[in-house]
Amino acid sequence: MPSAIQHAGEARSNTDREKLTRLEPHSLRTFTPTQAVLAKSAGIYHWTSEGRRLYDFTSGVLVSNLGHNPSEWMRRFSRSMGWGSGPNENRFFSAAPMTAYNAITPVEVEATQKLIALLRKSPGGARMEQVMWAASGSEAIQKALWAAQARDRTRLMILATRFGFHGKKGLANAVTGSETDSERDPRVRFISFPMTECRDVTVRDEPFDPTPYQKELDALLHQFGRKIGTLITEPYLGGGGSYHPPKAYLQLLERFCRANDIIFILDEVQSNFGRTGTMFAFETYGIEPDIVVLGKGLGNGIPVAVAVGRLDVFSSLDYGEGSDTWSANPLCCAAVLATLDEFAARDVLAEMKESSALIERGLVSLKELPVVAHVRGERGGMVWGVEFRDHGTRSASEWANAFVLACYQGDGASGDGIHLLGPLSKKVVRVAPPLIITPQEATTAIDLMRRAAKRL
């Protein structure tokens, strides 16, 4: 059992870390060298148990796009749940049910209608006709794959882009990673993702040669023919190291699916609601999926996900084949409704552009350090991957973890730090603050990050 991570000057946090090291398995968390204890949060900030302020550059793993505990979002959420009326007879609140298994609630109807309307008016959302609710991203992926396979049960083979991450459960896990992982599902075949063509943010519009990718698809089609019924990809490789592909690559996958009547599933669990600069990543990349899977930022902190797509595909599943205890529960639906209303009330994406440019310039400046190799992301978006390289006696992984720790510790001047997670693919640190970070906050945080990085 690993020993508890400890930090100087954090007596209360160290005690909590020590307790959970004994009471919980370490497998509950991916390794992060800080293991921050977060006592409270507001906007773009966390506070530790000792009261030290941290800029949150993770958004709780791309969840809190609108910031932590936004007041208007919280009011919308509470109104949808009916929590303003007070208890009835001093025992129970007369409010929306907390669970409504196998029933329907008005908040579910409203949230479903508004979500479909938003998707359908978005460029590339024409096929969005029905919503299949889930409690997590991996469950929504699982349901999307079930539906795609049910459409034609003679076409059970799935193509998945190599090194993607879609979840750790069932079929979602089967389409995650690559063929080198153990216990691969025989229905799954992996195709190449253009990682070498995923260039630094400073390099744009270089030619993309689709030939090798087209040949790979054609070879699989020749080998398996009509057995292939589904293709799933992320718009960019998130957990795989923040690789953002040329638009032509994803458009190639879409054309292949259209030509061969293959269901095209786009996993936007990480990228939805503004991370690539548009509301949905399919807009950024100019594609039209048959099914899009949304999560994380969809609920802004409440666990919820959905698969949205074609009616004829979803109707292939019979009663109960897509159900579970928590799908479409009122808490989730109220959270989604609050998120949709917040984005409708103000132009969050336009407001974030200046901050996005400031953060990108600051991250690119880190390449002045010999340990930083690349900075990847979408211009105008709010997610980047900072890739480290081997240097001196330290490996890329060691430099990446040292960077995360240095940012957490801050520079001592203000007492502030920056909250980041452990590196992706061992050497890529993801930077993804809430979309609502102001230009002033972005400037201050990036300056703090640069000072921390230089101490390496």
Which pLDDT value is given to residue 188?
A: 96
CA–CA separation, 282 vs 264, rounded Å? 12
Closest Cα to residue 380, out of 348, 347, 346, 357?
357
Is the same domain home to 150 and 291?
Answer: yes
Instruction: Quote the domain boundaries for residue 437.
Output: 11-62+347-454
Does residue 115 lie in a domain region?
yes
pLDDT category at 184 given cuts 50, 70, 90 is: confident
Residues 353 and 320 in one domain: no
What's the Cα-to-Cα distance from 221 to each of 170, 229, 297, rounded to whole Å?
Answer: 25, 11, 36
**Among 279, 313, 345, where does a domain finish?**
345
* pLDDT reading at 86 higher than 60: no
Q: pLDDT tens, 334-364? A: 999 999 999 999 999 999 999 999 999 999 9
How many distinct structural domains can be found in the chain?
2
Q: What is the mean pLDDT of residues 111-138?
A: 97
Q: Are residues 140 and 271 in the same domain?
A: yes
Could you read off the pLDDT of 248-288 as tens digits, one per residue? Answer: 999 999 999 999 999 999 999 999 999 999 999 999 999 99
Average pLDDT over residues 434-448: 98
* pLDDT tens-digit series, residues 12-22: 999 999 999 99
- Predicted TM-score of the model (pTM): 0.96
Mean pLDDT of the chain: 94
pLDDT above 90: residue 88: no
Residue 180: the pLDDT is 86
Q: What are the φ/ψ torsions at residue 240 (nearest 5 degrees)?
A: -75, -5
With CA atoms as reference, report the closest residue to 116 among 280, 255, 315.
Answer: 280
Q: Which one of 327, 345, 363 terminates a domain?
A: 345
For the record, the structure tokens of 293 come out as 């899977």
